Amino acid sequence: MGAKQLDKRFLAKDGQSVWVRLLRQKDAPHLVDLFEHMGPVSRYRRFHQPADNVPPAQVWAEARRIATAVPDEQLGLIAFSAVPGEGEVAVGVARIVWMSDSVAEVAMSVRDDRQGQGIGKRLLTMVLELAQIAGAESVVGLIQNDNDPIWYLFDQLPYPIKRTIEGTESEIVIDLTRLKEEVGMETAV
């Protein structure tokens, strides 16, 4: 699947046009900018630890590592939109990191001033579809139990999710081989 085939455009809830494409090697500056536009709560929810005083060199090194990972290690999507006073900038990223041939871990970030606009939902849906196409049967993640926006988003996915609560966090397993309605039919029989 070529990068052009994956280019997708949609309108955010506020009417702003958003376009999504595959993450590329030259996207490290976009990832750094995205990180810089995430507040302490967003960073904590994404990285599961305080990330307020990370040295710039470390942020850049991690952004380069993510941007240059090969498809055998990860697949990622990046979303762009016009932001007043900034022009067109990266507003979100979602990626999967392969854990095995059929299991991937999911991670997603949306900059604070663009949250609540449906961007995260579209990115998550698209990256799960990409994972499915690439052969993933399940996707795992670690989510804080008090992260209500992401739980709301997961509830809207068409796939069944197994949640295992471990203290203040939950491990999730998204089953990409079935749809929620199929699971419901099995339990109804």
pLDDT tens for 93-109 read 999 999 999 999 998 99
Q: How far is Cα 133 from Cα 114, in angstroms, rounded to an integer?
A: 28
* CB neighbour class for 166 (10 Å; exposed up to 12, middle 13-18, buried from 19): exposed
> Which top CATH class is 3-188?
alpha beta
Q: Are strands 138-144 and 103-110 parallel, antiparallel or unpaired?
A: parallel
Question: 109 near 93, Cβ under 8 Å?
Answer: yes
Model pTM score: 0.84
Q: What is the pLDDT of residue 2?
A: 41
Q: What is the pLDDT of residue 48?
A: 59
What proportion of the chain, given as a percentage, has pLDDT over 70? Answer: 88
Q: How far is Cα 116 from Cα 85, in angstroms, rounded to an integer?
A: 20
Q: Which range has the top average pLDDT, 36-40, 80-84, 160-164? A: 160-164
Q: Which stretch of 22-31, 132-141, 142-151 has the lowest confidence by average pLDDT?
A: 142-151
Residue 166 structure tokens: 């471990």
Read off the pLDDT of residues 118-145 as tens digits, 9 standing for 90 and up: 999 999 999 999 999 999 999 999 888 9
